[in-house]
Structure 1
């Protein structure tokens, strides 16, 4: 079985071929796309070999050879029918990664053949539709002229040959893919906010949302701003029935939507458990015609994004029960929150990352917040460290919501100091994550760390949820010992006077070349004595 480190090194070395030709946000599309194609192709050949020999092939060359042979026989159609049924796609023998790799090694690489393989997969099943649309094999960014462009792709294909995907467990492969996404986020900077939630906040958010639902079979997870799908996929790490989780996600950016779909497959999620959509979450509600409420809702939406806030939304079921108010046009934070909350089951938990402004801003946001608090919908507020995310340095918070619970108290946790500095970003380590979860589960006040606020506390604060109002992290200044300070000052003054006397004595012993210099020194000593 391939070691994780080896796999990461091979996959990341593919980026070295592309780095310098384009920025990270662009070459991530090529590398992740080609890794995914290799995964589909290698899985396909392994399935062929398994059907013929009832075992996993030692090498892909062996599987390729057997596939080429059987496709010449009368059993070809039966084999393809079984592959189409189990894999949801088929590939001609000359369309496999192995065949294209052999071409590249023999300086006979043909982009048209690779594009034909992409097209075959995309046309095989609706779930693959448009999956490789961002991998432009004819882009000038790959080089100047056909030959250089072909050489660049061929070189990546040869480098990735070192990644043994068929002998690698799903978790290792999925985690390696997540690692790549994280590395791209680090190199991409601000654009990373579209597709990546850093490990610390992601783990806190998912583990909180999963609390009490770990043993549920057929769990339904929803992320209406799914990015690369990492938040939803993290939830399966805390389920005792991960193979039965159904994932519902929506993403606005087509390239990020494709990335999420690839991420799902590489984590071994069956096609029937993937319900992903490319669309605008706020513009039109989804889902509306299948499952509409979910056990777990995870969200890291774009912060303070603009939206239309059109009057018609006041009749939208997602937003209509909050004092006739909508999130302002310039800040869609509460629109995203209310959308997610609308789709939460009464027994479920929602966790969302937002900027601190949602805790205290007034006007329409204040009305919405007050309504949520009056309904007991806000369960906890967790303040995160600043500079955690690649697209902003501002501090953020996690808001936890539940429906129809008893009580209206809110747990406040200040985790703003639970981090370590790492290069450009602050990072929450496992001990920091565990501390937050401990405070959350205990749900009790802890000096300078957490405060369980009653509804009366919150009402007395005019429904302002700014964390410092509830968790006092200030340190009392040490009392000054005036007697000791007086002694210290007297000692200091005495030492200064002794030093001044010694300096004046040294001045008086100087000799001068002229009466003018001697007179100037006397004047200086006179001023010095007066000071």
Structure 2
């Protein structure tokens, strides 16, 4: 089919909305009728030739009492779907009465096979019938779709001389027409388009990133492509096209099977319908409805190629609850055995579940094949850096990078998507890096590689032309450093998060005024003994200030022992809270004396006289530091160089040390603004001064 005929069909179907729906539906709702009717008309046209055979088979099966009829009816229809109603769509345009049209149209819809019924259900198309009947437009819509001026049948329409009047519409072209209608409707309704529809230029770049590096390694055989957030299925379709082209170029015979899952009912219906319209009946069965996160329909599957554009900043609280609650999730996609931790959690905050889709894809990689798996996934900037060391987001980055799966990240221009202008990035992940890439990650800054659109499409104001995509691919494939490309060892993105502790230093102050106030506090706490112990100590020692809290506590214990009293923890806390203040001049407070005679400064254990002691931590002075994994000498050297010179009494609590990973494009691609020279500034000031003097002279002279 030539482009002229293709464009004519798209324009004709698009015009049906304006001709028939304008006064009944708001513009954003045209798709609720046009998309399902396009599906229905195409399926109807495909089934026309075998209608009689299907009706005969249906009659025979009913008479024989056969209950499971689907396979036999599909066989009679010669398709992966069928319709057992006595009507074809052309029969219904002649109905004079609207109620008869409604009854017959519903009977016609009821005759479709279960897979088509599911599509109609997810489209909620039956909800539109009453609206169209009440507005008396159903007949007009049907008449438009069966118009002799267009041909949605796979067979050509001949004229009186037997020559082709209208060419047949093959499955592939029908699929393209349907995709074009989806694109046009998405552009008309930009606010929600970006949630389910990724611009074709971005998808084509993702497909190139997935396939071009391994194009010479494609062999005869079967390949599986997957999208766990498939929306309308556009990524799968383009991936299939690209892989097929490369296989053909290299004379390889391949079979491609597409798998996807989608939680939005309408976009799920579109994806499944698109597969049926292309003649991929069995492929349509591989598109599943439901949440990939909490109801994974492909839990036992592994895939060769995976592409996704998961939702950003979208809460997955409902999924978390279905999985048992965020803190009780055990799904092996998100909780793995890693680096000696059998429950290494890669679970992000519930306010944003985008990284779970990446974890889902990583869990579905093939490890036993030569090509392994390749993943391209779009994320916003938060996936690069959110989550502290030890938290879910950081853990996932760590898992991917330390397993040497992260091949590259490409920063896209702003305003590339319909519903957001924020920064977006393509993550390229594989478990089969080529030798030169092993242990390394390539960052590509393509933020300035863009072509402006003549007309904005929602937030989208630029595109990646074929030439720009080729430029990005050249940068990616050359794997060299330049202004757009930086290459780093994996360790560059990792750090130790260490917890630096300081000892608590307490000064004790006792005087008559404080004692009087403490008496009231002790009475309120129902522990007047605490008051009497401190008072007796004060009377006996006449000491008002202690810079050594340990000394004070020992004296207090001695007084209590002599009086036959005890100093339980609750009583000590009451006394300490009232009489002590933090003071840098005071001695360190000993938490306990250790029997193990081994000095370990990094754990807060020090020699104090002949004892090994553990000092009490001053929580107000507790601090954390990020130590790069690449720091020469590691944590020990960093501590010696960066901490001890400023806090000689500090130590590291090794039990709290965590490893984290984050990636900062700003850090690696930041270009400082060139400041103007003094001469330039002075020249501008003189020019302004001269201009001002001239104005003043004009005013005075006037």
- The two structures, once aligned, show a CA RMSD in angstroms of 3.4
Q: Work out whether residues 385 and 419 of structure 1, in 8 Å CA contact, stay in contact via their aligned partners in 2.
A: no
More strand by share: 2
Q: Work out whether residues 307 and 329 of structure 1, in 8 Å CA contact, stay in contact via their aligned partners in 2.
A: yes
Q: What are the within-5 Å matches in structure 2 for residues 399-478 of structure 1?
A: 399-403=427-431, 405=433, 407-417=438-448, 418-421=450-453, 422-423=455-456, 424=458, 425-428=460-463, 429-447=465-483, 449-459=484-494, 460=628, 463-472=661-670, 474=671, 476-477=673-674
**3-state DSSP class of the match of 1:294?**
coil
Q: Alpha carbons of 1:479 and 1:31: their partners in 2 closer, same or farther (altered >3 Å)? A: same
> d(CA) in 2 for partners of 1:280 and 1:431?
37
Q: Work out whether residues 231 and 298 of structure 1, in 8 Å CA contact, stay in contact via their aligned partners in 2.
A: yes
1:288 to 299, 307, 310: 299
- The answer to whether the aligner puts 1:128 opposite 2:116 as a matched pair is yes
Counterpart in the other structure of 1:512 = none
Q: Deviations over 1:481-518 (max 9, x none)?
A: 72x765676576566556655654x35xxxxxxxxxxx
**In the TM superposition, what is the alpha-carbon distance from 1:478 to its structure 2 partner?**
6.9
**In the TM superposition, what is the alpha-carbon distance from 1:471 to its structure 2 partner?**
2.5
**3-state DSSP class of the match of 2:669?**
coil
**In the TM superposition, what is the alpha-carbon distance from 1:325 to its structure 2 partner?**
4.0
> d(CA) in 1 for partners of 2:489 and 2:329?
31
Counterpart in the other structure of 1:40 = 43
**3-state DSSP class of the match of 1:218?**
strand
- The answer to whether the aligner puts 1:224 opposite 2:233 as a matched pair is no
1:22 to 17, 25, 30: 25
**In the TM superposition, what is the alpha-carbon distance from 1:210 to its structure 2 partner?**
2.5
Q: Work out whether residues 275 and 284 of structure 2, in 8 Å CA contact, stay in contact via their aligned partners in 1.
A: no
Q: Deviations over 1:336-387 (max 9, x none)?
A: 1101111122311111111111101123212221222111121111112222
Counterpart in the other structure of 2:243 = 239
Counterpart in the other structure of 2:348 = 327
**In the TM superposition, what is the alpha-carbon distance from 1:233 to its structure 2 partner?**
0.6
**In the TM superposition, what is the alpha-carbon distance from 1:83 to its structure 2 partner?**
5.1
Counterpart in the other structure of 1:387 = 415
**3-state DSSP class of the match of 1:95?**
coil
> d(CA) in 2 for partners of 1:86 and 1:140?
29
**In the TM superposition, what is the alpha-carbon distance from 1:445 to its structure 2 partner?**
1.8
> d(CA) in 1 for partners of 2:39 and 2:306?
27
> d(CA) in 1 for partners of 2:32 and 2:40?
12
Counterpart in the other structure of 2:358 = 337
**In the TM superposition, what is the alpha-carbon distance from 1:246 to its structure 2 partner?**
0.4
Q: Work out whether residues 385 and 426 of structure 1, in 8 Å CA contact, stay in contact via their aligned partners in 2.
A: no
**In the TM superposition, what is the alpha-carbon distance from 1:129 to its structure 2 partner?**
4.3
Q: Alpha carbons of 1:20 and 1:408: their partners in 2 closer, same or farther (altered >3 Å)? A: farther
- The answer to whether the aligner puts 1:88 opposite 2:80 as a matched pair is yes
- The answer to whether the aligner puts 1:271 opposite 2:256 as a matched pair is no
> d(CA) in 1 for partners of 2:472 and 2:92?
49
Counterpart in the other structure of 2:150 = 163
Counterpart in the other structure of 2:595 = none
**3-state DSSP class of the match of 1:244?**
strand
- The answer to whether the aligner puts 1:7 opposite 2:9 as a matched pair is yes
**In the TM superposition, what is the alpha-carbon distance from 1:334 to its structure 2 partner?**
1.5
Moved more, 81-90 or 363-372: 81-90
**3-state DSSP class of the match of 2:674?**
coil
Counterpart in the other structure of 2:92 = 100
Moved more, 396-405 or 187-196: 187-196
> d(CA) in 2 for partners of 1:349 and 1:26?
38
Q: Alpha carbons of 1:311 and 1:196: their partners in 2 closer, same or farther (altered >3 Å)? A: closer
Counterpart in the other structure of 1:352 = 377
What is the TM-score of this pair, normalised by structure 1?
A: 0.79
**Whose Rg is larger?**
2
Q: Alpha carbons of 1:369 and 1:109: their partners in 2 closer, same or farther (altered >3 Å)? A: same
Counterpart in the other structure of 2:652 = none
**In the TM superposition, what is the alpha-carbon distance from 1:404 to its structure 2 partner?**
5.3
Moved more, 12-21 or 344-353: 12-21
**In the TM superposition, what is the alpha-carbon distance from 1:426 to its structure 2 partner?**
2.0
